Amino acid sequence: MPRIARDHIVSLAKLVVDYALQPIVEINTGYVYGYEALMRGFDRLGLASPVALLDHAAEADVLVALEQMLHARAIAKFASVPDAAGKKLFINVDGRTLRSGHLILGAAAKVLESKRIPASTLCFELSERYDNDAEPTFGAVVGALRTMGGRLAIDDFGLGFSELKLLCDYGIDYIKIDSHFIRGMAQSQRKRLLVTTMSNLAHVLGIRVIAEGVETEAEYIACREAGCDLVQGYFVARPTCEISEILSTYPHVVTARAKHRRDRKTDELLIRNQMAALPTVPIDAELPSVFELFRQSPQEHFFPAVDDAGEPRGLIHERDLKQYIYMPFGRDLLNNRAYQRRVSSFVTACPIVDIATDAEHILEVFANARGSDGVIVTENLKYIGVLSTAALLSVINDKKIQQAQDQNPLTELPGNLSITDFVAVNALDADAPRHFCYFDFDDFKPFNDRYGFPHGDRAISLFATLVRRSLGGPGVMVGHVGGDDFFAGLRDHDSAALRGTLAELLDEFRREARKLYGPEDQRLGFITGRDRDGRSRRFDLLRCSVAVLELAPGTMTSDLDKIHAVMAQAKSQAKHESTGMAWRRFSA
């Protein structure tokens, strides 16, 4: 860029720069949570990227003025969105301007006020391009942002060199996991492990997780299973400068979730029954109202603090206020505006989980947050209650009781709840081949009618013993669906070897089940009985058929309805096969 242009870079940028808004949506609902403002028009100045524009401004010593102008333009664009109320605006801030952070925040606050937008709407994104923490004024800037009610996010999380230090030392509200970890995540166990670990760490610290660069439905599903709270990327919507193109909800996200749902209703009901819906403290409340809340509820030692959208910000403890309550002139000091101690000054981080999170994961999050008084529970990112230590242990205990009740008393094999959970988890873990085997006795009812229920139970127990012996081992789950239906789930097993094992299992059961018949029926090789329509006819001696659903490496789904539909077809086919076996390869 010529020198003369550099001298007028702010004026030139005013003429050409516009902002596109890209929706950031709630991962479970597709509802727009906020927008990231992305710079457009820099190319009209002959520049390759927004960073190039900022670099030229820094060289011309006008970076602060440019940043103020850019933020004002982004806020103005956001203000033109019809349903902007309650949404968040994510704006990038250049780390080189932090030494003048009070000027940046002051200018942004004035624009927000002029547009009648609450300061809590604003979230500054810190790029890891610069070592933000190295700036001596960084802590003061973060404190000033907190005081005005704004929020802080770490952009491109996972690529920087000081981001863990920022998580440790400052009140970060969001991490935006870089698209490097999201791209191809559905096919990479390593990436899924890293994203899950990042999400778990963030939730322990009470931080929300945004997945950036989500481009496919498979990546969206993988992010949801990894625990991300929000998603952003081309799968949801591309950035747009046209306000008319922006929606309040993106239905295809809702459709994808419904298609790939994983039923966690059991855990959700247990959590709802145990959590306490404690009253909340608005983050901008006056401290005297907090004192009054504790006075009215002497049995409570803390209350959740929430923002104007109902999102939790942490906990406020009575112990942190006691020194001011009981010290001479303590309350007068807190009520003095010049002292600048507000509710936000007393809020401490607390683990946050969604109501749809399974109980074991909540326990893991809580265990890693040592010293925490409990876990804040949200639904669609809004506060709904708190799980105390005792309540969380009750949830786990109640779930174990339900699992024990799910176990079949005859075979002592896990039942439908455990089977469904195994299928749901392994159908999404696409790094190895998986086989789901459904076993069903052929002509069991006539046998049961002729010989009675005790003989029927002997046949069921016989198969349970044989299937345990044939298939039991690492990476295998054997379950009893009910009656004469069984299940076996195998992970990382060779298809050809499994075919042989299943054939031997079916043959052995047929030989052993023959011994359950009387000598004459064994000699004839059939029995006479009535079918389901009451008609008399011949029935072959007992055998078992099996339908096998194979998921190849790289194939993933959480569409359990589709799995069940394919299995139903395969089970019907298996009964008509001479081998008693039908094999299907699942296609997502």
Distance (Å, whole) CA 99 – CA 220:
38
Q: What is the 3-state secondary structure (H, E, C) of 476-533?
A: EEEEEEECCEEEEEEECCCHHHHHHHHHHHHHHHHHHHHCCCCHHHHHHCEEEEECCC
How many CB atoms within 10 Å of residue 433?
18
Specify whether the CB–CB gap between 418 and 519 falls below 8 A.
Answer: no
Rounded Cα–Cα distance for residues 150 and 217 (Å): 32
Comma-separated ranges of CATH 3.10.580.10 domains in the chain? 268-397
88: enclosing H helix or E strand:
strand 88-93
CATH H superfamily, domain 407-585: Reverse transcriptase/Diguanylate cyclase domain (3.30.70.270)
Rounded-to-integer distance, Cα 167 and Cα 308, Å: 24
pTM of the model: 0.73
Q: How far is CA 527 from the centre of its chain?
A: 55
Which two structure tokens, joined as six digits, stand for 164?
């863990």
Token pair of 104 as six digits: 């940046």
- Among 352, 330, 358, 332, which Cα is nearest to 264's? 358
**Angle between helical axes of 9-16 and 50-59 (0-180°, round to 10):** 160
Neighbouring residues of 61: CB distance < 8 A, sequence distance ≥ 6 = none
What CA–CA distance (Å, rounded) separates 503 from 425?
A: 27
The CATH number of the domain covering residues in 268-397: 3.10.580.10
Region of residue 362 (phi > 0: left; psi between -120 and 50: alpha; otherwise: beta): alpha
Range(s) of the chain covered by CATH 3.30.70.270: 407-585
Element holding 107 (H helix, E strand): helix 101-114
Return the bridge partners of 240, or none. 21
Per-residue pLDDT of the chain (588 residues; tens, 9 = 90+): 555 455 588 999 999 999 999 999 999 889 999 999 999 999 998 899 999 999 999 999 999 999 999 999 999 999 999 988 889 999 999 988 888 989 999 999 999 999 999 998 999 998 766 677 677 788 888 888 888 889 999 998 988 766 788 888 888 999 999 999 999 988 888 898 899 999 989 998 889 999 999 999 989 989 998 989 999 999 999 999 999 999 999 988 878 776 655 545 678 888 999 999 999 999 888 877 888 898 899 899 999 999 888 999 999 998 888 766 655 555 565 565 545 567 777 888 899 999 888 888 888 888 888 778 889 999 989 999 999 888 988 988 888 777 777 788 889 898 988 898 889 888 887 778 999 999 999 989 899 989 999 999 999 999 999 999 999 877 799 999 999 999 999 988 999 999 999 999 999 999 999 999 999 999 999 998 887 777 888 999 999 999 999 999 888 887 888 999 999 999 999 999 999 999 999 987
* Whether 527 contacts 541, CB under 8 Å: yes
Q: Rounded to an integer, what distance in angstroms lies between the CA atom of residue 306 and that of residue 278? A: 12
Evaluate whether 195 touches 177 at the Cβ level (below 8 Å). yes
Please give the structure tokens belonging to residue 71: 């933020």
CATH 3.20.20.450 maps onto the chain at 3-158+230-259
Fold of the domain spanning 3-158+230-259? TIM Barrel (3.20.20)
